Structure 1
Amino acid sequence: MPLALLALAISAFGIGTTEFIINGLLPELAADFDVSIPAAGLLVSGYAFGVVVGAPLLTMAGTRLPRKTMLLSLMILFLAGNLLSALAPTYGVLMAGRITAAFSHGAFFGVGAVVATDLVEPDKRARALALMFTGLSLSNVLGVPAGTAIGQALGWRATFWTVVAIGAIGLLGVAALVPSRPRPEGQSLLRELSAFRQGDVWLALAMTVFGFAPVFTVITFIAPMMTSVGGFSPSAVPVVMGLLGLGLVAGNLVGGRLADRAPLPSICGSIGALTALSAVVALAAGNQVAFAAAIVVFGLAAFATIPPLQNWVLTSASGAPALASAANIGAFNLANTLGSLLAGLAVDAGLGYTTPAWIGVVLGLAGLGTTGLVSLRTRRRALMTTGR
């Protein structure tokens, strides 16, 4: 695989760390800015908002730029947002820094996915995507725990300075390793927008939203599920989360290999597994050994969905992939919002900490239904092409 994928993975590691690190620093941030924990938690929602809004806007703004130039510009924006966060004198400035960094998130992964697939042969596209997204999955295993430890030992600003350093390495890597190529012939905003006239693109985005939402219905309240239902000690939570992270890394790589061989079956299989495992997590919540085992396999199924879903959107929007690819990153974040919102409503209603996992089953079934519709359309089109 080309070394340029390493530069993309390092950048993805930095971006992923920025996205998730705030969860481990909420007490410190709340104390420093004299706000409540829920108010500090809005820094998570603010980031997600920035991803959803920024992904299409910046991708559209950069349609006339060569893709390497676009990636470099996005990494500079990412660095600016984290510098602002590290220096933030007030809560409002920190929120502005978070949203600024988030604006680069979706567009970088969207454009980066196109660049990654262009670097390899067609039969290795999903594996190239998996390698780039390995940086994102590793951010959960290494970046977030390390960043949390740094923040607790040296203050939360030190965490953001560390992310700035990682982002700078990613920027230099993209500059040195990603090949410079002219802007694709015929690339324009109108052509990118034309992808959304295709029903296949919208169905692909729907597969992402419903198929990936179970991930967040389960993990949003995984800590209280463990301690309140499973009887785990608080000190065991990071250990189990680390096991989940290992599953995420493995699933990302497995998903890439399977997607190159059989794209739609791999999507159906990973979403089906994720749906079934949501039920297993709920049923195993009272048994510590069974729960720990289930959560590892759940993590594997969760990130096994990412390469095939992203690759399918690229295929569905053939000829105008950048904006559709960025929109799919927004769809992943919409899945985050939908899953965590429904999980929160269930817990607030007093339905217990295992109910979100059952909601994940329902959302997963909706994802499977959408995948089935895509399969029927694809098969019908193939029959019409062959004349059978």
Structure 2
Amino acid sequence: MPFAVYILGLSIFAQGTSEIMLSGLLPELSADLGVSIPQAGLLISAFAVGMLIGAPVLAVITLRWPRRTALLAFLAVFIAAQVVAALTPGYWVLFGTRVIGAFVYAGFWAVAATTALSLVAENARGKAMSIVAGGLTIANIIGLPAGTAIGQHLGWRAAFWAVAILSALSMVGVAANIPGGRPATVPDLRSEMRTMRNPRLWLSYGTTALSTGAQLVIFAYLGTLLIETTGLAEGWIPIVLAIYGIGALIGITIGGRTSDAHPYRTLIAGVLGIALIAAALALTATSAVSVVVLAFLLGAFGFATNPALNTRVFALAGAAPTLATAVNFSSFNIGITVGPWLGGIAIGAGFGYPSVAWIGAVLGVLALGTIVWSMAWQRGSAATSAEQPALQPAH
């Protein structure tokens, strides 16, 4: 595996820590900024909104840029957003920095994924994506609990300073290891737009959004659920979140090895697991042992689907993958946005924190339906293709 792929994973780790660390800091943010827990939770959704918009927009704008140039530009803006976030006195400025930082982070994701997949053979794409996306998994294991611990002991602003420093270090790695110059084949916008007409591609986006929403509606409020419903002390939150991250690392490693050969089996196993785990969590949210075990399994099954969700879109996009891959990242962030939003509505309506797990179960079942539909569609297309020669007139 090219070393540049690992550098991209390291960069995702640095930026991904900012994406997810607020899950463990909602009580501190709520108290310091004078907002409710659901309002603080919207800062997670704000990040997702920035990524939702940023991925396709920046993919188009930078389509003909040298990839290293684009990656460095995105990192520079991201670092600036983290610094402003650490200095801001108010909620809405913080909200804005989350959107801006996520906007360029999405651009980084889209270019990094295309870069990584272009550097490896076709049968190694799943592994390459597991390494790049594994940066986010490591962020769950190290960045999230570390950011939570830093925020609890030094204040949530210190966590943003830490992310800015990590991102600056990753910027050095990108400058030194990612090949400069334009790719051998310069993408064409018209070809990219034609690819987007494929309806199977949009069904795949639906799978991405629903499965991500099923996981994130739970993850966004996991720290608060552990305190308010399960009754764990605040000091246990980073530990449980690290256990979730360990599960995510195991899951994405397995998914990276199975998604190239068995994409649909990987997706079905992962999404079905999310739905069942969510239902079990809703029923046993007051049991500390159960919640800890289920948090580990949620990370494992949730992240096992990640490589397959990415490589599936790349395969459907054919020779014009840049925009299609970027829109898939937007689909991830539709799930990240809608999941916490639905959870906030349920909590605000007085249904309690276990309700977010029930929402996750429903979204998981819907995601499973899109996978089954996609499988049936593929079988139908294959059968039609097989029949075509028989329909040709004899000469």
TM-score normalised over the length of structure 2: 0.89
Q: 1:338 maps to what in 2?
A: 338
Segment of structure 1 superposing worse, 214-223 or 181-190: 181-190
Segment of structure 1 superposing worse, 93-102 or 245-254: 93-102
Which whole-Å CA distance do the structure 2 matches of 1:30 and 1:293 have between them?
A: 28
Deviations 1:21-56 (A, max 9, x none): 334445655666x54345555433332221111111
Q: 1:323 maps to what in 2?
A: 323
1:311 aligns with 2:311: yes
1:209 aligns with 2:219: no
Residue 375 to residue 192, structure 1, CA distance change in 2 (3 Å): same
SS of 1:260's partner is coil
Which whole-Å CA distance do the structure 1 matches of 2:42 and 2:355 have between them?
A: 24
SS of 1:64's partner is coil
Residue 364 to residue 8, structure 1, CA distance change in 2 (3 Å): same
* Aligned pairs (5 A) from 1:165-176: 165-176=165-176
Return the offset for 1:66.
2.5
Q: Are the equivalent residues in 1 in contact too, given 2:26–2:224 (CA < 8 A)?
A: no
Residue 375 to residue 181, structure 1, CA distance change in 2 (3 Å): farther
Return the offset for 1:384.
3.0
Segment of structure 1 superposing worse, 127-136 or 39-48: 39-48
SS of 1:353's partner is coil
Which whole-Å CA distance do the structure 2 matches of 1:121 and 1:172 have between them?
A: 27
Which whole-Å CA distance do the structure 1 matches of 2:343 and 2:28 have between them?
A: 25
Which whole-Å CA distance do the structure 1 matches of 2:375 and 2:231 have between them?
A: 43
Which whole-Å CA distance do the structure 1 matches of 2:28 and 2:349 have between them?
A: 29
1:132 aligns with 2:129: no
Q: Are the equivalent residues in 1 in contact too, given 2:24–2:223 (CA < 8 A)?
A: no
Which whole-Å CA distance do the structure 1 matches of 2:348 and 2:30 have between them?
A: 22
Q: Are the equivalent residues in 2 in contact too, given 1:113–1:129 (CA < 8 A)?
A: yes
Return the offset for 1:262.
0.8
Return the offset for 1:181.
5.0
Q: Are the equivalent residues in 2 in contact too, given 1:10–1:166 (CA < 8 A)?
A: no
Q: Are the equivalent residues in 2 in contact too, given 1:10–1:169 (CA < 8 A)?
A: no
Which whole-Å CA distance do the structure 2 matches of 1:103 and 1:224 have between them?
A: 27
Residue 30 to residue 271, structure 1, CA distance change in 2 (3 Å): closer
Deviations 1:195-245 (A, max 9, x none): 221101111100101122211232233345444544444443333222111
User: How many residues are paired up?
Assistant: 387
1:51 aligns with 2:51: yes
Q: 2:296 maps to what in 1?
A: 296
Deviations 1:56-81 (A, max 9, x none): 11111111213232222222222222
Q: 1:182 maps to what in 2?
A: 182
Residue 62 to residue 26, structure 1, CA distance change in 2 (3 Å): same
Deviations 1:131-157 (A, max 9, x none): 111111111221122223334444444
* Aligned pairs (5 A) from 1:233-252: 233-252=233-252
Q: 2:119 maps to what in 1?
A: 119
Return the offset for 1:10.
1.3
Segment of structure 1 superposing worse, 240-249 or 341-350: 341-350
The one-letter amino acid paired with 1:97 is T
Segment of structure 1 superposing worse, 89-98 or 105-114: 89-98
Deviations 1:58-112 (A, max 9, x none): 1111112132322222222222222333344655544433322111122211221
1:7 aligns with 2:7: yes
Q: 2:76 maps to what in 1?
A: 76
**For the aligned residues, what is the CA RMSD?**
2.4
Which whole-Å CA distance do the structure 2 matches of 1:42 and 1:351 have between them?
A: 18
Which whole-Å CA distance do the structure 2 matches of 1:377 and 1:14 have between them?
A: 39
Which whole-Å CA distance do the structure 2 matches of 1:169 and 1:378 have between them?
A: 44
Which whole-Å CA distance do the structure 2 matches of 1:237 and 1:101 have between them?
A: 26
Which whole-Å CA distance do the structure 1 matches of 2:231 and 2:62 have between them?
A: 51
Which whole-Å CA distance do the structure 1 matches of 2:226 and 2:152 have between them?
A: 23
Which whole-Å CA distance do the structure 1 matches of 2:155 and 2:195 have between them?
A: 46
* Aligned pairs (5 A) from 1:17-36: 17-26=17-26, 35-36=34-35
Segment of structure 1 superposing worse, 259-268 or 158-167: 158-167
The one-letter amino acid paired with 1:71 is L
What stretches of structure 1 of length at least 5 have no aligned partner? none
TM-score normalised over the length of structure 1: 0.91
Segment of structure 1 superposing worse, 61-70 or 251-260: 61-70
Q: Are the equivalent residues in 1 in contact too, given 2:23–2:219 (CA < 8 A)?
A: no
The one-letter amino acid paired with 1:64 is R
The one-letter amino acid paired with 2:54 is G
Return the offset for 1:327.
1.4
Return the offset for 1:363.
1.2
Deviations 1:153-209 (A, max 9, x none): 444443323222211221121121122353353512222222221101111100101
Q: 1:360 maps to what in 2?
A: 360
The one-letter amino acid paired with 1:386 is A
Which whole-Å CA distance do the structure 2 matches of 1:167 and 1:330 have between them?
A: 22
Residue 156 to residue 11, structure 1, CA distance change in 2 (3 Å): same
SS of 1:350's partner is coil
